Structure 1
Amino acid sequence: MTQTQTPPGAVTFDSSEPSATRRVVTSTAFMIAIVVTVLILLFGVLSPNGVFLSAGNFRNLALDSAQLILLAVGMTFLVGAGELDLSIGANVILSSVVAAKVITFVGGTPEEILAGDYSNAATAILLGFLAAVVTGVLFGIVNAALVNMLRVSSFIVTLAMMSAGSGIAYIVTGGINVSSLPREMQKGFGSADLFGIIPIPAVIAVVIGLVAWFAMTKLRFGVHTLGMGSSLRAAERAGINIRRQRVKLFVIMGGIAGLVGFIDISRFLTTNIQGHQGDALAAIAAVVIGGTSLFGGRASILGSMIAAIIPAILINGLVIMRVGSFYQLVVTGVILLIAVGIDQRRRAQSK
C-alpha cells in the first residue's frame, strides 16, 4: 500500500477546521436571523392584505426595535462580564424626565412651551440631549460604585436602583408626564428618516451596535469583559482591574439608557413615567437568545441586535391582527423563559 506524500512547500489544509461559511451558518446570529425571517413571513401571510410587509410597517418596526437594540447592546457587555442591570428601565425614565425638564426650562416662556412653539428650541434640544446622556452615565456610575463598595451582586444593587430611579422620576415630575416638547425633536430626529428611507434612531442603533461589536471582538476591552465573565479570580490574576472595568461597563450601559430616554421623548414629545417597566427583561432575553451566556464568559453583539427585533415583530404583528397590546407583557415573559431554556441547553452541551 503506497502512501501519498505532500511535496515540499505545498500548502495543506486541515479538514477538521470548520470553514468560514460553516461558522457563519452554524452561528447563533444566523439562526436568529432565520427565526426573524420566518416570523416576518408568517405575519405577512396572516395580516390583513399583507399589511405587515408594507414599507410603512417596516419603518415602524425599525423605529420600535431601535431602542431595544441599543439596550441589548449595552446589556451584552454586562451579561458577558457576569453582571446584570435591572434598572435600565428606571434609568431611561429618569434620563428622559431630566432631559424634558431641561428642555422646558430653557426653551422659552410658559406660554410658548404650552403651545409647543419654543423660541430657543435648538439650544433647548441640545442641552436636553446632553442632560439625558449625563443622567444616564451618572446612574451607571452609581450602580458600579455600589457594586464595588458593597461587594454584592449587581442583581441586588440594580434591583434597588430600579425602585430608587423610578421614585426620583416621580418626585421630579410630581407623577405627571412632561409634555408639549418641541416638535422639531420629532421632525428632525425622533421620527425623521435618513435619505427619506431609514429612521435615524435605527441608523444610530446599528452604528453603535457595530462599534460595540468591534470593541468586543477586536479590542482588549472585549477580552477583559469576557475574562471577567469567565472567572473574576483568573481575570484579577491576569492583571485586569476588575473594579475599573465594571465602572466602564455600567457607564456604557448608563449612557445608552440616557440616549434611549432622549430618543423616546423625541418620538412621542412627552415622557412616559409609567412605561419601560419591561425594558430590562426584554433586553436580557434578547441578549441570551442572541448567544450570550447568562452566566458570563461568552457574548454576541450581533446576535443580541438581531434577537432584539423579535419582540418588536411579535408585538407589531399582534397589534395588526387586532390582538390587545396588553399581551406585550405576556410575550416578554414567554421570550425570557425561552431565552433561559436556550441558555441552559447551551451550557449542558458545552460540558
Structure 2
Amino acid sequence: MRSEPSMTAATSVENGGQLKRRSLGARLVTANTFWIALVLVALIIVFSALAPNAFPTVFNFQRLAIETAVLLVLAVGMTFVIITGGIDLSVGSVLIFAGMVSAKTMNALSENGSAIDAGWGVIIAGLVAAVLGGLVWGFVNGFLIAHAKVPPLIVTLGSFGAALGAASLLGDGSDIRTIPTTLKRALGSGTSFGGIPNLVITAAVITLIAAWLLHTTRFGRYTFAVGSSQEAARRAGIGVTAHLLKVYLLAGLLAGAAGFMSLAYYSTTGIAAHSTDNLNAIAAVVMGGTSLFGGVGTMLGTVIGVFIPAVLKKGFNIVHVQDYWQMIAVGAVLVAAVWFDQQRRRARDRL
C-alpha cells in the first residue's frame, strides 16, 4: 500500500521534468505576450515595406516613442488595476487635474504670476503638486472601491467627470500655458545618452520600476492573487481591502506623474486634449495580454500593447489611409485580444 504514494510522487517528478523540458518553447508559444509581439513586428514589417523611405527611420521611431511616453505611464498604472480585476476610467481626467494643479502651483510660486522663467525649485514644487493631485484621486477611488464596496466602473466613471470638472474650475475653463521654459527644455524636448528623449527615458524608468514591483515583489504577488480570487486571497492572509487601496493609489500617482510629463511636452494643461486617454490606456493593457477578468498580465505586454495603436496610427498616416480606418483597425485588434483571452481561459478551465 505504501508503494502507491511513492509511484504517485515519482510520476509527479517525471511530469515535472517534462514540464521543465518543454517550458522554454511551450510556454513561450502559448503566452499572450508572444503573439501580441508578433502582431507588432508584423505591423512594423508591413508599414516598412509600404513606405521604406518614411516609416523605418530613426526619426520616425523616435517620434513614436515620444508620442507614447505619457500614455505608457498611464497604462503601467492601469496594468496593476486590471490585474486585480478592476478598472479605472478616471486616469485621463486625473492626468488633466494633476497638470492643472501643477501649473497653478508653479505660477503661484513665481513672480508676476507667470512661471515661464521659473527655476528648479518651483518646478520641483510643481512635480510634487502633480503627484499629490493624482494621489488624492487615487485615494478617493481606492477608498470607495475597497472600503465602501462600490463597483470600480461606477466609482471611476464618477471620478472621471469630477476630476475633469475640478480641473476646469481651477483653470476657470481655460488652459494654462505659462509653463517654465526650463521644464520644457529639460523634460519636454531635452535629450540624453546620444539623443534619446528625456521624456522617453522617464517613461522607461517608471516602467522598469513597475515591472520589478509587479513581477518580483510581494506587492506584485498580492496583486495577482487578489485578481485571481479575492476570497482565496483573504483566506491566504492577504489584506485585500488594504491592497486594493494601494493599487488605486499607485494608479493615481502614475496619472499625476503623466500629467506633469504632459505639461512639459505640450506646454499646456490640455483640458480637452486627453478625453480618450483612459480608453487608450485600457485598450493598450488589454491588447498587451492583461486579462479583463483579473489575475493575468505582464508589464512587457503592456509596453507592446501601447505601441500597437501608435504604430497603426503612424503607419496609416504615412501611407495616407483615412483616420476612420485607424479606429477600425485598433478596435479589431482590441476585440481579437479579448477573444483570445477568453479562449485561453476556457481552455484552462477544461483542464
**TM-score with structure 1 length normalisation?**
0.88
- Tell me the distance in 2 between the aligned counterparts of 1:200 and 1:219: 27
2:78 to 44, 53, 75: 75
- Tell me the distance in 2 between the aligned counterparts of 1:271 and 1:331: 30
The match for 1:242 is 240
Structure 1 residues 94 and 209: alpha-carbon distance in aligned structure 2, compared to 1, 3 A threshold = same
1:95 counterpart = 2:95: no
Secondary structure, aligned partner of 2:295: coil
The match for 1:33 is 37
Structure 1 residues 179 and 330: alpha-carbon distance in aligned structure 2, compared to 1, 3 A threshold = farther
Shift of the alpha carbon at 1:310?
0.9
The match for 2:127 is 129
The match for 2:205 is 207
The match for 2:158 is 160
- Tell me the distance in 2 between the aligned counterparts of 1:127 and 1:332: 38
Tell whether the 8 Å contact from 2:289 to 2:337 is kept in structure 1 after alignment: no
Shift of the alpha carbon at 1:241?
0.8
- Tell me the distance in 2 between the aligned counterparts of 1:40 and 1:67: 21
Shift of the alpha carbon at 1:325?
5.4
Count of residues in correspondence between the two structures:
335
- Tell me the distance in 1 between the aligned counterparts of 2:325 and 2:127: 32
Tell whether the 8 Å contact from 1:85 to 1:280 is kept in structure 2 after alignment: yes
Structure 1 residues 340 and 31: alpha-carbon distance in aligned structure 2, compared to 1, 3 A threshold = closer
Deviations 1:92-145 (A, max 9, x none): 1100111111122223324x65xx4x1x33222111111111111111011111
Shift of the alpha carbon at 1:172?
1.0
Secondary structure, aligned partner of 2:109: helix
Structure 1 residues 196 and 184: alpha-carbon distance in aligned structure 2, compared to 1, 3 A threshold = farther
| Counterpart code for 2:131 | V
- Tell me the distance in 1 between the aligned counterparts of 2:50 and 2:246: 45
The match for 2:310 is 312
How much is the aligned-residue C-alpha RMSD, in angstroms?
2.2
Secondary structure, aligned partner of 1:134: helix
Structure 1 residues 221 and 327: alpha-carbon distance in aligned structure 2, compared to 1, 3 A threshold = same
| Counterpart code for 2:89 | L
| Counterpart code for 2:101 | V
Secondary structure, aligned partner of 1:261: helix
Shift of the alpha carbon at 1:334?
4.1
Shift of the alpha carbon at 1:323?
4.3
**TM-score with structure 2 length normalisation?**
0.88
The match for 1:8 is none
- Tell me the distance in 1 between the aligned counterparts of 2:103 and 2:323: 26
- Tell me the distance in 2 between the aligned counterparts of 1:178 and 1:217: 39
| Counterpart code for 2:236 | A
| Unpaired runs of at least 5, structure 1 | 1-11
| Counterpart code for 2:69 | A
The match for 1:293 is 291
